[in-house]
Amino acid sequence: MKPKRSRRQRLQQRTEESRLCAKPMDNESWRRVLGRLNRRLQVFPRDAILQPVRVIEAGIGILNAPMEAYCRATCGDCLDPCCTGRKVFYNRADLLYLVALRKAWPLGQTRVRPEDPCRFLGPRGCLLPRYLRPYVCVWFLCEAHMELFQAEPPTVQRRWIQTLLDIRNARLRLENLFESRFPGDTCDEA
Ligand code: SF4
Ligand code: SF4
């Protein structure tokens, strides 16, 4: 018979981020959701939250310059820009990170209604700095970017992949930590 796992151990089995909060939201709901997550995060030791947040922020910093260079090389001629997709949202891991970062929050969810375009899409691309974007917008490598990535030296590719892994693990750690105290959180506004 397998030994019984504790509730804490079971909660730490999350290997994928939840889709909680990844939905259209009006600005008032957005503020309430972030406010509630912020209050809940106060129960954790600051260091426990800051550790994964610093890994995420530093990792995005590493990815920023090459991703910007890829965009400069390809996005201007793109016939099917990824930012016109309607399914890009901040998920709960994004929101936990944003709240814990203690910087100004973005104005709202990417869209208020499902049919809206992303509110952060400006005439020259995304209006947000990379560290404030939904993470899917940070790591996404379209076909054109993948070609550029594959032409990079192996050391660059390895560093990039390790950075993505570090960020992914840190985001999972953040969500697991949150769920260890708030299992069943539904991303409600209350
Ligand atoms: S990232 Fe890729 S898909 Fe998105 S706009 Fe640039 S070239 Fe197009
Ligand atoms: S948040 Fe920025 S990068 Fe993401 S879909 Fe919107 S405009 Fe594009």
pLDDT in tens, 89-121: 999 999 999 999 988 899 999 999 999 999 999
Q: Are 187 and 33 in contact (CB under 8 A)?
A: yes
Whether the pTM exceeds 0.85: the reply is yes
- Give every CB contact of residue 24 below 8 A, 6+ residues apart in sequence: 89, 109, 111, 112, 113, 114, 116
Q: Helix (H, G, I), strand (E, B), or coil: what is residue 57?
A: helix
In the predicted model, what is the mean pLDDT of residues 142-151?
A: 97
| Listed residue (175, 166, 23, 16) closest to 94, CA to CA | 175
Residue 4: band (very low, low, confident or very high) from pLDDT cuts 50, 70, 90: low
Q: Is residue 100 part of a domain?
A: yes
Distance in Å, CA 7 to ligand 2 centroid: 37
- Closest ligand (CA of 127): 2
Q: Is residue 186 part of a domain?
A: no
pLDDT number for residue 186: 85
pLDDT number for residue 185: 86
Q: Which atom of ligand 1 is nearest to the CA of 71?
A: 6
Q: Is residue 130 part of a domain?
A: yes
In the predicted model, what is the mean pLDDT of residues 55-83?
A: 95
Q: Is residue 168 part of a domain?
A: yes
Q: Name the average pLDDT for the chain.
A: 92
Name the region of 127 (left: φ>0; alpha: ψ -120 to 50; beta: rest). Answer: alpha
DSSP alpha helix (H) spans, the chain: 7-11, 27-41, 46-74, 92-101, 135-139, 143-150, 154-181
- Closest ligand (CA of 110): 2
- Give every CB contact of residue 147 below 8 A, 6+ residues apart in sequence: none
- Closest ligand (CA of 67): 1
Cross-strand partners of 125? 122
Contact 142 CB / ligand 1 (< 6 Å): yes
pLDDT number for residue 130: 96
Report the nearest-CA residue for atom 5 of ligand 1: 81
Q: Is residue 3 part of a domain?
A: no
In the predicted model, what is the mean pLDDT of residues 71-96?
A: 95
| Listed residue (64, 136, 71, 129) closest to 103, CA to CA | 129
Q: Report whether pLDDT(1) > 50.
A: no
Q: Is residue 90 part of a domain?
A: yes
- Give the tens place of pLDDT for each residue, 121-144: 999 899 999 999 999 999 999 999
Contact 50 CB / ligand 1 (< 6 Å): no
Number of independent structural domains in the chain:
1
Q: Which domain range does residue 101 map to?
A: 20-181
Distance in Å, CA 189 to ligand 2 centroid: 24
Q: Is residue 45 part of a domain?
A: yes
pLDDT number for residue 188: 74
Q: Report whether pLDDT(41) > 60.
A: yes
Report the nearest-CA residue for atom 7 of ligand 1: 75
